[in-house]
Structure 1
Amino acid sequence: MIDTLLVLNTGSSSLKFQIFEDQTLDVLMSGKVTGIGDTPEMRAKLPGGQETQTSLPANTDHDSALSAVMDLIGGHDHAWRTAAVVHRVVHGGQDFAEPVIVTPEVMYRLEALIPLAPLHQPHNLAGITASARLASGAPDIACFDTAFHAGHDELTSSFALPQEMRDKGVRRYGFHGLSYEWISQVLSRDYPDLCAGSVVVGHLGNGASLCALKNGISVDTTMSMTALDGIPMGTRSGSIDPGAVLYMLHDLDLGVETVQDILYERSGLKGLSGISNDVEALLRSDDPHAAFALEYFALKTAQHAAMMAVSMGGIDAFVFTGGIGEHAGPVREAILGRLRFLGDFKTLVIPTNEERLMATHAKKLLRSAA
């Protein structure tokens, strides 16, 4: 019998999974379900190395997607025993600064944070609920995207709001922490001199943000109370004048749900281009709106990168990660071209591996709880 860790990364329309051997953290099996709510499909790399691809029913939701994943795993089980199911949870609020074993009380507190991450938190928690039923007996462990930024000082974490609002948790949290923590560990291992300095990391994908790493520690980041703030993203607006939101609500009488849909689902690269939130599609397009969207993205990313440099008092390196950061060379060059005034600094592209980091955290937590 081999003890394993099942790591789940549940998104708004996807479910990624990896199975790690508990001792060595070797990957035994991996895959993802994409197109949930549209044209769902499951791809996986099986224990023998062969790859499989399966179309799922159109009505597949996150619960049935996880059921399909569990059925697939069960069909290729090599005497595995699931020691824990590990979940990425986007928002941990002020209460959770490190991974935890999920209890009913923990779930209750995480559900209260849904308004702060409406695009992600419900799906993260749905994955926990489903796995508790489908992998009964194995503890669920939550790892938080906000945790890596929990040590920010008050200057960085505060909004310029009255104290009573700040006391109610209206503050900056930051996200993509699992990705940034992985990059910090890679820098510490492979580039110790850079890690000891000032590094801007860009997690650039459909969700995108920047982080200021000083001596490998997060000191600032572009997302704040929600995963909506900062640089523009695939479908999210990024930073916007709060007065513009009030105008849409009060003067245009659009309603809260409509404005939320605009800001989260219809803005960013998709809204600017009127074409797509897919950077590859925009790079291929000869439509001037596509070029405008990409140039806007590069400009705002560079502007926010300069802000991160200010928070550290300089910049020694810029690290790109995430789908856009790793694969879209023209976008990287457009960003760097706007940052040349900062002088010489090293540029790196480092793939992120949130799932392995989550497995590492889970292994440590299980050992300490034993």
Structure 2
Amino acid sequence: MRILTLNAGSSSVKASLFVYRDQQWLCELTYQLSQLNDSPRVRWHWHDQVENNQLLSWKSLPLEMRHSAALSQVIGLVKDAGLLEEVAAVAHRVVHGGSQFARPVIVDKEIMQQLGALEPLAPLHQPYNLNLIRLAQEALPNVPQVACFDTMFHAGQPRMARLMAIPRKYLDQGVLRYGFHGLSYEYVYSRLQELAPRQADGRVIICHLGAGSSMCAIQHGQSVSTSMGFTALEGLPMGTRCGQIDPGVLVHLLREEQWDADQLERFLYKECGWLGLSGGISSDMVKLHQAGVPEAEEAIDYFVHACVKEIGSLTAVLRGLDAIVFTAGVGEHDAVIREKILAQLGWLGVDWDTDANQQHRHCAHKPTSRVGVWIIPTNEEMMLAEHGSRAIKALRLFK
């Protein structure tokens, strides 16, 4: 069985081709297109070949046609390899499943309408996720399209973790805390089970830190609380998203700046976070480290402060902590950020290994540590392949 996975953003397209062989998923093709709205650059390679890296001449190609062009490239690569007929399903990452979708679904016209209604809840992601599903349906009309949701992993959280103190009629309409990055949490937790099964069966906090950041408290394999809420704005400060903010600030800005809803949304999603707090220097943590100016340092320190505060909060929910895991772009690759966070967790019994942290080893704690410290690369694409496979088998579309 082969599964094609697709993950679309406003300025990027990621694709992978997986084959199930010898009781495991193997990635055959990796494709990543970035800077879609500017000077598109594509990187792709088959598992046994050298990576191709090229700048695309798409200046004359309208922006609205570039996702389609990217998908055509992916399909062309698979077809040229003689593998297109073996693709059993296309599995798509869809950020928001709302209250309707707690498991993957085969996408049809009715499902697309329901997912479209959720676009305002994830404006940075959902429209592009759904656009790529439409394009894939047109390009591969006989191949099932499976939607896999970032909210699925949190669907079984206790009700107290999902509520907000607002009138009940809005809760009944689905205004609840959903949480995100679920595909990442699911994969990383499965790896922790392999690396440290006893710790994994206890109280775990996974820190998914990157341009989009969140944390999740897991107990006995179940998500019990997470930092993101109704939308992917809540919680930690991110590349361009504000994270936790007093709602009174928004009322103030609406009145004083005379903004409409679209202006407020643009402000919250694209002008805040590390970018805003650094004075516009960058939404990229690497560039903030390199800037060497007080504004950049303050943005970094505020991010660390928010991370430590969230870890404390989630530890209280768990009533203790057995393991903390770092993943995603910053979590996996930024030893400085990890060190700044870990240095403030001694009260939890964290005794981290400086050399292991600098070298990004999986295990980053000393034998004396009461809490395991782990660095585990995420692999959302592999979870997409797994969920896509299960979905079509459940409907007997593939034996």
Equivalent in the alignment of 1:354: 380
**TM-score when scaled to structure 2?**
0.89
Q: CA deviation at 1:326?
A: 0.2
Equivalent in the alignment of 1:335: 341
Q: CA deviation at 1:347?
A: 0.9
Q: CA deviation at 1:66?
A: 1.5
Equivalent in the alignment of 1:176: 181
Deviations 1:91-132 (A, max 9, x none): 000011011111111111100101110110000001100111
Distance 2:156 2:147 in 1: 19
Distance 2:143 2:25 in 1: 18
Deviations 1:216-245 (A, max 9, x none): 210000000000100000110001111111
Of 119, 122, 131 in structure 2, the residue corresponding to residue 126 of structure 1 is 131
| Superposition map of 1:203-352 within 5 A | 203-273=208-278, 274-344=280-350, 345-352=371-378
Distance 2:67 2:159 in 1: 38
| Superposition map of 1:141-160 within 5 A | 141-160=146-165
Equivalent in the alignment of 2:16: 18
Of 112, 115, 124 in structure 1, the residue corresponding to residue 120 of structure 2 is 115
Equivalent in the alignment of 1:63: 68
Distance 1:25 1:116 in 2: 32
SS at match of 2:324: strand
Cα gap change, 1:309/1:47 in structure 2, threshold over 3 Å: closer, same or farther? closer
Distance 2:98 2:152 in 1: 9
Of 80, 83, 101 in structure 2, the residue corresponding to residue 96 of structure 1 is 101
Q: CA deviation at 1:174?
A: 0.2
Deviations 1:20-50 (A, max 9, x none): 1145522111111111111111110125422
The one-letter code sitting in structure 1 at the alignment partner of 2:387 is H
Distance 2:124 2:90 in 1: 22
Deviations 1:311-349 (A, max 9, x none): 111111110000000000000111112222223322110
Q: CA deviation at 1:80?
A: 4.6
Q: Which ranges in structure 1 are unaligned for 5 or more consecutive residues?
A: none
Distance 2:75 2:42 in 1: 12
Q: Which ranges in structure 2 are unaligned for 5 or more consecutive residues?
A: 351-370
Identity fraction in percent: 40
Deviations 1:177-220 (A, max 9, x none): 00001112112222111111111110001100000011121000
Q: CA deviation at 1:294?
A: 0.5
Cα gap change, 1:146/1:79 in structure 2, threshold over 3 Å: closer, same or farther? closer
Cα gap change, 1:94/1:78 in structure 2, threshold over 3 Å: closer, same or farther? closer
Q: CA deviation at 1:250?
A: 2.0
The yes-or-no answer on 1:43 pairing with 2:43 is yes
**TM-score when scaled to structure 1?**
0.96
Deviations 1:264-315 (A, max 9, x none): 0111111111201111111122111111110010001110111111111111
Distance 1:47 1:208 in 2: 29
| Contact 2:78-2:84 at 8 Å conserved across structures | no
Equivalent in the alignment of 1:5: 3
| Contact 2:200-2:323 at 8 Å conserved across structures | no
SS at match of 1:74: helix
What is the number of residues matched between the two proteins? 368
| Contact 2:323-2:374 at 8 Å conserved across structures | yes
Distance 2:385 2:167 in 1: 40
Once superposed, what is the RMSD of the aligned Cα atoms?
1.4
Cα gap change, 1:46/1:268 in structure 2, threshold over 3 Å: closer, same or farther? same
The one-letter code sitting in structure 1 at the alignment partner of 2:30 is S
